[in-house]
Copies of this chain bind each other. A is one copy, B any other.
Amino acid sequence: MRLRLDLSYDGAGFHGWATQPDLRTVQGELTSALQKVLRVEEIQLTVAGRTDTGVHARGQVAHFDLAPAVLESVTGRSDVSPLASLVRRVNGVLEPDIRVRAIAMAAEGFDARFSAIWRRYCYRIADHAGCRDPLTRGFVLHWPRNLDEALMNDAAEALLGEHDFAAFCKRREGATTIRTLLDLEWERDQSGVLVGTVRADAFCHNMVRSLVGCLIAIGEGRKPVTWAAQILEARARDSAVGVVAAHGLTLEEVGYPDDLDLADQAKRSRVVRTLSR
């Protein structure tokens, strides 16, 4: 049987998602907690979004497989299901900077990584004294200069759709940098914090933080609105594009198709894409 986990974490205390020897990682902590509570020797977690060091998640999704007999051994209060007991016990073992929000039986064909059709991140910026809140400083970037979100939105429009985002990615050997950017929009929340919503089928390494770095330069007026499209067209990293701090970035939500399409989506995602235009 396959179980789906929905989880949140404060990235400040982790060297990112992926297990690394001698470093505290989200995957490492969660794997240990599940192994301890379920009393099994090996749990293999697959995740939707492999977040970098310092990046947060509110809507992260992962899955793991388990023999059904193991779950039955998780006994809790008689009025609570084994899965609800498992959530409670795993959270009891985990430090408070990771919380498992829910564990559910996965639908047939579900794969946390390959069934996902989009990932939605938010990047938060407090660009003036009136909206810099010490209580949220762990997940909001305090930027010293005012930003014009109208300019940032104008520039962002040229980036939407399927493109080779090589200019905004840390290249990995043999991996494509073609992605479909579905949303990239800036809005102020009620406290005045500038919230950038970035949604794509998938992201390559550093992509959100480079996109935000580019748009900040435009929002400050240091670069013209057309600069974002120029960078994209060049398909090569430009040292003028800063990669903004990790702590402003949060993985908010992962989108999946209806249950019937899960397996098909997983098959499609495994095919390395080539630029279709």
- CB neighbours of A98 from chain B (8 A): 134
Q: This chain: how many copies in the complex?
A: 2
Residues on B with beta carbons closer than 8 Å to the beta carbon of A2? none
Chain A interface secondary structure, helix, strand, loop or mixed? mixed
Interface string of A1-37 (1 = CB under 8 A from B): 0000000111000000000000000000000000000
A130 within 8 A of B: yes
Surface stretch bound by B, among A99-107, A160-168, A262-270:
A99-107
Among A38-85, those with CB < 8 Å from B are: 56, 58
Q: Does A137 contact B (CB under 8 A)?
A: yes
Task: Kindly report which residue of chain B lies nearest to residue A10, judged by CB atoms.
Answer: B134
Among A97, A102, A138, A142, chain B packs the most CB atoms within 10 A around the CB of A138
Tell me the bound Cα distance from A142 to B94 in angstroms.
14
Question: Nearest residue in B to A95 (C-beta to C-beta)?
Answer: B134
Contacts of A88 in B (CB 8 A): 129
Q: Tell me, in angstroms, the Cα distance from A133 to B101 when the chains sit together.
A: 9
> Are A99 and B134 in contact (CB-based, < 8 A)?
yes
Closest to A58 in B: B133
The distance from the CB of A42 to the nearest CB of chain B, in whole angstroms, is: 25
- Given A135-B10, A135-B250, are A96 and B142 neighbors across the interface (CB < 8 Å)? yes
- Per the bound structure, the CA–CA distance linking A177 and B56 in Å amounts to 44
- CB of A235 within 8 A of chain B? no
CA–CA, A195 and B161, complex, Å: 40
On whether the beta carbons of B87 and A101 are closer than 8 Å, the reply is no
Chain B residues lying within 8 Å of A91, measured Cβ to Cβ, are 129, 132
> Within the complex, what minimum Cβ distance (angstroms) separates A58 from chain B?
6
Chain A contacts with B in 135-163, Cβ cutoff 8 A: 135, 137-139, 142
A-B contact pairs, 25 of them (CB 8 A): A8-B132, A8-B133, A8-B134, A8-B135, A9-B134, A10-B134, A10-B135, A56-B135, A58-B135, A87-B129, A88-B129, A91-B132, A96-B134, A96-B142, A97-B134, A97-B137, A98-B134, A99-B129, A99-B132, A99-B134, A101-B129, A101-B130, A102-B130, A135-B138, A138-B138
A interface residues (Cβ-Cβ under 8 A, vs B): 8-10, 56, 58, 87-88, 91, 96-102, 129-130, 132-135, 137-139, 142, 250
Considering the complex of A and B, which 5 residue pairs feature the smallest CB-CB distances, nearest first?
A10-B134, A99-B132, A97-B134, A101-B130, A135-B139
